[in-house]
Structure 1
Amino acid sequence: METSDLRIALFSGNYNYTRDGANQALNRLVGSLLGKGAAVRVYSPTVEKPDFEPTGDLIGLPNVRMPVKGRGEYRLPLGLGGKVSRDLLKFQPNIVHLSSPDPSGHAALRWAQDHDIPVLASVHTRFETYPRYYKLAFLEPVIVGILRRFYNRCDALVAPSHSMIDELLAMKMHDDIGLWTRGVDRTVFSSERRDMEWRRSIGLADDDVAIVFLGRLVMEKGLDVFAETIVQLRRRQIPHKVLVIGDGPARGWFEEALPGGIFAGFKTGAELGRALASGDVFFNPSVTETFGNVTLEAMACGLPVVAAGATGASSLVNEGVTGRLVALKGKKGAEAPDSEGLAEAIAPYCTDPGLRMAHGAAGEDRSREYSWEAINSIVADTYIRLIEDRRALQAAEAAVEAAA
């Protein structure tokens, strides 16, 4: 079987209406598959003015605004509905790919099982950790149970880092889990994009050390830990500036927590590459990510990385070579990096330019290992394996029936 024989029905909770790392990876995957002759149909909530144009054919799913405070820009898919069910029958996929365990993902899984079609699920975020950021940590075991049932009904999973695979295996989410890591666009992210004039235009002096946050400004990205760490650095009188790249519903909270911080706003493409490369140290306190696209992008821009020693970053950052990983503390289900430990890790980069440059250069070298084309071929190969395994099982069952 060849990639050109694939007919993929891909379900996403957010394919293009709000830009994030997960849907950037999905759009790149679809582009790669289409380029090799595969047929792809994407099913996701649609809005009147999405953040970007989708790659491939996009069919809207029934949905409502996410009923969670601070997440109103996201949509909750509500199942398939008659239109989507008819479209699936007409499209006749030979593989179903689920990228979010939402109600539409559950419905698509049931549809695939009813039609004897194999299912691959990709894991993009630590959904079970989200409640702790909304004072609902008691729900975490319930969500783990729901996720375990969902993922174990799929034929296989792919996850973006070895550390996330280990976590999924430990939680008994599945025993067939492959690695679908992430790539980085080196035409956008490179140390060569550093722009001193742009730095000066936003208030950074040439000798300022800018500690960078990059991402959506939502609490589950560890904004509280970031702010607490900056407070620790200020108490120690470590010279630095804060550069925040991104926007989101928690921006007001973050601005109040970081007086004097430089908020550059939302950036994409060449502007994002320039802004990131114009920083000096990348700080990622998040424990919710399965890979950490922003961490890889910062490495490609030549920035040393200080990150929480959680899934994603622990597979990217080479401790003491490309940056620092700070261990998590706290009870199971509420682990977080310690702000004092994070400040301790960041401080030397603020005062030692030689260390900063050496670890940044090592990170940029490591980022060159991540090629999108090779990475996406792994997913196509997994589709083919699952289809061929299913066909072999169907043939064996038919042979048994014929012999009976």
Structure 2
Amino acid sequence: MVVSPDLAVSDAAAPDLSRLRIALFSGNYNYVRDGANQALNRLAEYLLRHGAALRVYAPTTDTPAFEPTGDLVSVPGIPIPGRSEYQIPMGLSRANKRDLATFAPNIIHVSSPDPTGHSAVRWATEHDTPVLASVHTRFETYPRYYGLGFTEPLVEAICRRFYHRCDALVAPSQSMVDTLLEQEMHDDIAIWSRGVDRTVFDPSRRDLEWRRSLGIADDEVVIVFLGRLVMEKGLDTFAETIIQLRRDQVPHRVMVIGDGPARKWFEHALPGGVFVGFQTGADLGRALASGDVFFNPSITETFGNVTLEAMASGLPVVAAGATGASSLVEEWETGRLVESCGVSCFAEAIAPYCTNHDLRARHGKAGEIKSREFSWDAINRVVADTYLRLLETREAEREADRLADKAAAR
């Protein structure tokens, strides 16, 4: 088990979690690093630190991106066609089911509506075990980035059927909760937000010498992209917006932090852009704080960890006015939210930050102050409290049934 040192802090007000036995199911727990699996690993650390028993079921690889937190049990998985770095979990093997029965969880936590998630929900139904589902991404929006937008209603219907079989949901932002309610995914939804590691993300990490080593002058304004380089992150919108800024002769440079299968496409679409590759830890904090404006055009995220990290680093944010960012960015205070009105609107929102130092500094400072509200322990306690509530409700239902049977037998 790996416990992150920066998280090993006391939480005297935390509930006693020793009665919890949690089976957590994930499509990607540690074989590729992304915001969702990092949130799950932080949750696992919190639960274990406060006495819960935890077992994680997810596909594995011989070359994981990082060590898992907690006991990880490998489940069957196959590479996603065209995206082989990710796997589709293919249900539970007989060995998995034996392991699950031996562990005897009293809470099932599913984090993706994939075949293994469906298998876990079926197991929970058969064993009268409450299920919590966490929502980490807008799965129904993915098809539009691969020319399959017509399938979105079908994907949404599959997700709805899956979530209706769960006892409750947690989602990362109020905007995502509102979307889930509108889509009629469930009526019991709590907010499990995201935290930010202030030992990594802070304006003090800015490094002008490092910028200079990349050929960036001190007075140049750097627009930053951070994330996996995959089309569903809005790479096409980012590139088209930069092209528009160049047409408008708005002075700027571009820095791309991250890597992924669409890197070659992105490099071709952004000639002159500075690609620093995948960064982590202190190097990531330095790279992000060394930018000047953060641009996040993605509409697939339910929270936007990278948006919060940029705010903590002192950067004003221009983002799509979609779930996630709309619960973080305060219009004309910490940045700009752009609704679906095209590339020209994004360019118009970014341009003032490229030419107005005072505006950039003011909104960046306001975002950094707002980011201080996000404490990992307080955030993860929401999930722990939800586990306890579901368990107590199920135990009360069983007791009521027992008493009813006893009365009927008289």
One fold, TM greater than 0.5? Answer: yes
Partner of residue 379, structure 1: 383
| Cα distance in 1 between the residues matched to 2:139 and 2:386 | 24
Q: Following TM superposition, by how much is the alpha carbon of 1:214 offset from its aligned partner in structure 2, in angstroms?
A: 0.1
Is residue 238 of structure 2 the alignment partner of residue 226 of structure 1?
A: yes
Out of 336, 339, 345, the residue aligned to residue 341 of structure 1 is 345
The equivalences for 1:39-188 within 5 A come to 39-67=53-81, 69=82, 71-188=83-200
Aligned to 2:327: 315
- Are the counterparts in 2 of residues 118 and 390 from structure 1 also a CA contact under 8 Å? yes
Corresponding residue number in structure 1 for 2:28: 14
Among 171, 193, 207, the alignment partner of 1:195 is 207
By how many angstroms is 1:203 displaced?
1.2
The residue aligned with 2:404 is: 400
Query: Paired residue for 1:333?
Result: none
CA distance, structure 1, for counterparts of residue 198 and residue 393 of structure 2:
37
1:274 alignment partner, one of 278, 286, 290: 286
What SS does the aligned partner of 1:72 have?
Answer: strand
Residue 218 of structure 1 contacts residue 248 of structure 1 at CA under 8 Å; is this kept in 2? yes
Structure 2: segments with no counterpart, 5+ residues: 1-14
Q: Is the 8 A contact 1:194 1:275 kept in 2?
A: yes
Aligned partners of 1:165 and 1:23: how far apart in 2? 20
Name the aligned partner's letter for residue 301 of structure 2: E
1:389 equivalent among 388, 393, 398: 393
- SS at 1:248's partner residue? coil
8 Å Cα contact 2:16/2:51 also seen in 1: no
- Aligned pair 1:31/2:45, yes or no? yes
| Inter-partner Cα distance in structure 2 for 1:49 and 1:315 | 35
Other-structure match for 2:365: 361
Please state whether the residue corresponding to 2:84 is helix, strand or coil: coil
Provide the secondary structure at the position in 1 that maps to 2:361. Answer: helix
Q: How many residues align?
A: 394
Please give the TM-score of this superposition, normalised by the length of structure 2: 0.95
Describe the superposition over 1:87-126 as per-residue Cα deviations: whole angstroms up to 9, x where unpaired: 0110010100000110000000000110000000000000
The question of whether the paired residues in 2 share the 8 Å contact of 1:210 and 1:280 is answered with yes
Letter in structure 2 aligned against 1:228? E
Aligned pair 1:352/2:356, yes or no? yes
- 2:11 aligns to what? none
Query: In the alignment, is the contact (CA less than 8 A) between 1:2 and 1:384 conserved in 2?
Result: no
How far apart are 1:401 and its partner, in Å? 1.2
1:400 offset after TM fit, Å? Answer: 1.1
- Matches of 1:204 and 1:101, distance apart in 2: 44
Q: Which digits, 9 at most, give the CA deviation of each residue in 1:189-247, with x for residues without a partner?
A: 00000000110011110001000000000000000000010011000000000000000
User: Following superposition, which runs of at least 4 residues in structure 1 exceed 4 angstroms of deviation?
Assistant: none
2:267 maps to: 255
Deviation at 1:2, TM superposition (A): 3.1
Q: CA deviation at 1:43?
A: 0.4
- Which amino acid is the alignment partner of residue 191 of structure 2? L
SS at match of 2:72: strand
Which residue matches 1:207?
Answer: 219
Counterpart amino acid of residue 17 in structure 1: Y
* Paired residue type of 1:313: A
Match of 1:335 in 2: none
